[in-house]
Structure 1
């Protein structure tokens, strides 16, 4: 198939009539990359859970397992950069003179990933002139560990991977007065973000707790997708 045929196939399949499509691009690569409508993040569910099934109910052992404190869940974190921040004990609500046998130790577990939009099959003219919608979605568990158990920070970056062109942050507050244990969705749509975007930096943090045993906040279904441009 000729280069012109691959270009025409891209145009027809994704409805790109009127979108700048330079002839010099490798349109076979673009077509086979299928950059529109698919998740551009690698390994979107490193803990092995699906948002289509309820988060698992925790079964408490008869005796605490003991051992040193844990601050990171088990999982396959291939494709992610991870880090852990152990937080100081919170004694703010304890009256003076009260003796406490044990307190939960909280920690933030952070995962981040950078998406190279051009390596995924997008091209300069499309990103700069059309600025297709970039849709971010994530799901986290109502773990009931704390009022603040989840944070999302997504940045659209210039070619230097440092200059921030647009960004979005979410820090939802949990309602702890009634028990609920479901997946909660966090999402955002970037549009009209300006020229120059070449990378998406996706970062989320979940709060875990350790008190004689490890109590994590689970997450799944992280995604970054680009919507086809319809002219």
Structure 2
């Protein structure tokens, strides 16, 4: 197709008629990048799970493991930067003089990645003047391991990757109902965030527990960052 035809296709599909665009914008590349309506995060479900199926039950080894405690999840975490933070033992609720054979040891497992909006097919004039809605979604397992098992921090960053233009954080406290074992949704929509946004930094943390020879962890799936088309009525 001609350049004009590619431009019209983008305009018709995403409602871009009359919106600012630089002279000579390669509309074919924009269309092939599909910057609107798709998940811009890489490898959104590294544990191989789907929110459409219930989280699997705890996996207990048939033979007790030996050696140091395990704090690292197993999975394909390509596309993510990961980190494990082992927490101090919590002895605050133990009465004086009580002998404890074993205490659970908790850790936070963090995963983060940064989305380059221009590399994903968006352009500066569109981001600055139109400020399309940016939708964040995530799903985590209600694992009952602790009162706090999940945290989310998302930042809209400027071109220098350090200037925070807008941000959203979630740190829920769990009800810890013994009969509940399901996925919990976390979502947020950024709108009217101002000019200058060029990157999105997505970070979430899941709490894990090690006790004796067993390792329990909080699963997640379906992490997503999506830029909505300009037209929202269809």
| TM-score, normalising length: structure 1 | 0.96
Contact 1:4 1:23 in 2 (8 A): no
1:61 Cα deviation (Å)?
4.1
1:12 Cα deviation (Å)?
1.2
RMSD value, Cα: 1.3
Q: Which residue of 1 aligns with 2:6?
A: 6
1:59 Cα deviation (Å)?
4.4
Stretch deviating more after TM superposition (90-99 or 170-179) = 170-179
Q: Give, in whole Å, the separation in 1 of the partners of 2:26 and 2:164.
A: 28
Q: Give, in whole Å, the separation in 2 of the partners of 1:84 and 1:176.
A: 24
Q: Which residue of 1 aligns with 2:141?
A: 141
1:176 Cα deviation (Å)?
1.5
Task: Map Cα deviations across residues 109-129 of structure 1 (whole Å, 9 max, x no partner).
Answer: 000000000100011111000
Matched residue SS, 1:220: strand
Paired positions, count: 231
Q: Which residue of 2 aligns with 1:220?
A: 221
Task: Map Cα deviations across residues 56-114 of structure 1 (whole Å, 9 max, x no partner).
Answer: 01243454323321111100000000001000000010011111000000000000000
Matched residue SS, 1:154: strand
Q: Which residue of 1 aligns with 2:206?
A: 206
Question: Superposition pairs for residues 46-61 of structure 1, below 5 Å?
Answer: 46-61=46-61
Contact 2:86 2:106 in 1 (8 A): yes
Gaps of 5+ in 1: none
Q: Which residue of 2 aligns with 1:104?
A: 104
Q: Give, in whole Å, the separation in 2 of the partners of 1:216 and 1:173.
A: 17
Matched residue SS, 1:151: strand
Gaps of 5+ in 2: none
Contact 1:127 1:196 in 2 (8 A): yes
Q: Which residue of 2 aligns with 1:78?
A: 78
Contact 1:136 1:225 in 2 (8 A): yes
Q: Give, in whole Å, the separation in 2 of the partners of 1:75 and 1:190.
A: 30
Q: Give, in whole Å, the separation in 2 of the partners of 1:59 and 1:6.
A: 51
Stretch deviating more after TM superposition (17-26 or 137-146) = 17-26
| TM-score, normalising length: structure 2 | 0.95
Q: Which residue of 2 aligns with 1:19?
A: 19
Q: Give, in whole Å, the separation in 1 of the partners of 2:91 and 2:8.
A: 65
Q: Which residue of 2 aligns with 1:68?
A: 68
